């Protein structure tokens, strides 16, 4: 009798998991990702949440923003991103401000879904990491502080 109950629960559970477009195998997932990347083969998009004109880069670095950015990093980013070039879940942050424009970084932080849908570089990162960056509900002001912290991490003074 217990055997039949376990089989029934298994069937109900499997039935509840069906009906969506999630890949069932790694090969299917790779194929879906490959098709998405092919569809998205376009130039780098800097997003729409933050405009380049909205970002005021300061020299020297703003110490308060750096401290705020480190606090945000410690609470929302540290579990997936190292400050070195080592990849955990997401890519390491070393030299990110040298590779990417501030507007790209801030839009990736504040509007990750749009960036993964429209930006070829964000799609390449997804292909490498195989895990979508979650939307952390970071405000534009907090993203600016994170950017300042990243700049300090990359050696700016």
Ranges of residues in the chain with a pLDDT under 70 are 1-48
118: Cα within 13 Å, side-chain hemisphere: 13
44 Cβ neighbours under 8 A, 6+ residues apart: 104, 119, 120, 121
Tokens of 154: 């990359």
CB atoms within 10 A of CB 108: 24
Question: Can you give the pLDDT at residue 17?
Answer: 44
Question: Can you give the pLDDT at residue 58?
Answer: 87
Global pTM reads 0.69
Question: Can you give the pLDDT at residue 54?
Answer: 86
Question: Can you give the pLDDT at residue 22?
Answer: 46
Question: Can you give the pLDDT at residue 49?
Answer: 73
Q: Cα separations (Å) of 49 from 40, 52, 55, 109, 117?
A: 19, 10, 12, 10, 14
Fold of the domain built from segment(s) 28-153? Cytochrome Bc1 Complex; Chain D, domain 2 (1.10.760)
């Amino acid at each position: 009798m217990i055997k039949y109950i376990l089989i029934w629960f298994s069937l109900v559970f499997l039935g509840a998991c069906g009906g969506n477009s999630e890949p069932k195998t790694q090969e299917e997932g790779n194929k879906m990702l490959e098709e998405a990347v092919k569809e998205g083969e376009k130039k780098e998009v800097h997003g729409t949440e933050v405009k380049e004109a909205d970002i005021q880069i300061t020299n020297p670095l703003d110490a308060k923003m750096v401290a705020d950015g480190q606090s945000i990093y410690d609470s929302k980013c540290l579990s997936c991103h190292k400050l070195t070039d080592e990849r955990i879940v997401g890519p390491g942050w070393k030299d990110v401000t040298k590779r990417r424009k501030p507007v790209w970084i801030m839009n990736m932080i504040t509007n990750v879904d749009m960036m993964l849908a429209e930006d070829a570089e964000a799609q390449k990162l997804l292909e490498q990491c195989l895990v979508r960056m979650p939307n952390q509900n970071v405000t534009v002001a907090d993203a600016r502080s994170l950017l300042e912290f990243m700049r300090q991490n990359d050696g700016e003074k």
